Amino acid sequence: MARKRYRAEEIIHKLREAEVALAQGKSTAEVCKKLGVTEQTYYRWRREYGGLKVDQAKKLKELEKENARLKRLLAEAELDKAILKEAASGNF
């Protein structure tokens, strides 16, 4: 089965749908089936996006992407520094 990637806005919309259905007395399994996701995915989404508004979720995703980019740059800089240190000590 192919996996679909949902945008943050879609996830929040689905979580709102789930809240309504759960308030109407449906079980979590029924709600997840209706949403087309597994219970594990539902709980992960709820943990990550529960209580966020759409604009907050967009900002969160942007910050996570920027954080990953900065970590990658730091790793590259540390690698360059280690190579230069080794070259300067004459151990190459």
Task: List, in order, residues 6 or more apart from 11 with CB less than 8 Å away.
Answer: 45, 49, 57
Whether 24 maps to a domain, the answer reads yes
Whether 47 maps to a domain, the answer reads yes
Segment 14-33 mean pLDDT: 93
Whether 62 maps to a domain, the answer reads yes
Whether 3 maps to a domain, the answer reads no
How far apart are the C-alpha atoms of 90 and 64, rounded to whole Å? 39
Whether 23 maps to a domain, the answer reads yes
pLDDT at 51: 77
Rg over CA atoms, the chain:
21
Task: List, in order, residues 6 or more apart from 26 with CB less than 8 Å away.
Answer: 34
Whether 2 maps to a domain, the answer reads no
Q: How many domains does the chain have?
A: 1
Whether 36 maps to a domain, the answer reads yes
pLDDT at 36: 92
Tokens 């604009």 — which residue? 55
Find the domain containing 72 and state its range: 8-89
Whether 35 maps to a domain, the answer reads yes
pLDDT tens by residue, 29-83: 999 999 999 999 999 999 888 777 878 878 888 899 999 999 999 999 999 999 9
